[in-house]
Amino acid sequence: MTDVPIRLLLADDHPIVRAGLRAVLETEPGIDVVAEAATAEEAVARAGQGDIDVVLMDLQFGKGMNGAQATAAITARPGAPRVLIVTTYDTDADTLPAIAAGATGYLLKDAPPEDLAAAVRTAAVGRTTLAPAVADRLMNRLRDPSTTLTPRETEVLTLVAEGLSNHAASVRLHLTEGTVKSHLARIYTKLGVDSRTAAIATATQLGLIRR
């Protein structure tokens, strides 16, 4: 056990959330909250200064870069700090991009304080902590890949769930309308449905997209 404290950066756009995280973690031995960031862009810049060991990263920051994009930017650098996602969202549309971006762990904001502190220590040594709901969903994906949506299919269905037409979704994703229709056809087959409404309802129930 080293006497050198784990240096934390708290990245969340809500001051109350940052204050709550700080209050919980500052009482933990061997953990030092050294900085905060209110935007993902600020988090990327601050994490690059070389004095951060673990970044606690939210996923949604309003306008601009999101948490997964910030995670990718941070972890792409040599000697980067670890990134531990702490968020309210646990759907595939949230977890998979964050994990693919290089997040070391993924916790939900309702985790007990002791679990949060343990996850920080685990992340600091490069090991993974996943919220139980996230771990269960990842295991289910491995057991039954036939119902797993690809990242692009998840993007398409998320936009459809927001009310976008095939054409509007194609413009947003820089795809042809035919490609969007092909993605939807594969989504229907995977989910065993025959309509947009049913696909949205089933994917929401399975935790594949967030509504």
Q: Is pLDDT above 90 for 210?
A: no
- Among 17-26, 34-43, 147-156, the minimum mean pLDDT is found in 147-156
- Alpha-carbon distance of 17 to 26, in angstroms, equals 14
Query: What is the percentage of the chain residues whose pLDDT exceeds 90?
Result: 72
Maximum CA extent, the chain: 59
Q: Is the predicted pLDDT of residue 182 greater than 70, yes or no?
A: yes
CATH class of 145-205: mainly alpha
Q: What is the pLDDT of residues 76-94, one digit of tens each?
A: 999 999 999 999 988 888 8
Average pLDDT of every residue of the chain: 91
Using a 10 angstrom Cβ sphere, with 0-12 exposed, 13-18 middle and 19 or more buried, the burial of residue 123 is buried
Contacts 24+ apart (CB under 8 A), 129-135: 129/84, 129/104, 129/105, 130/105, 130/106, 131/90, 131/106, 131/107, 133/90, 133/108, 133/207, 134/90, 134/95, 134/106, 134/108
- 6-140 adopts what CATH topology? Rossmann fold (3.40.50)
Q: What is the DSSP letter of 48?
A: T
Residues of the chain with CATH 1.10.10.10: 145-205
pLDDT digits (tens, 9 = 90+) for 123-167: 999 999 999 888 887 887 777 766 678 888 999 999 999 999 999
Q: Does the pLDDT value for residue 97 go beyond 80?
A: yes
In a 13 Å sphere around the CA of 38, the CA atoms on its Cβ side amount to: 4
Q: Where in the chain is the domain with CATH 3.40.50.2300?
A: 6-140
pTM to 2 decimal places: 0.75
- Report how far residue 196's alpha carbon sits from residue 85's, in angstroms, rounded to the nearest whole number: 31
Rounded CA separation 175/196 (Å): 19
Which pLDDT belongs to residue 1?
45
What is the mean predicted confidence (pLDDT) over 62-76?
Answer: 93
> What is the pLDDT, as a whole number, of residue 118?
95
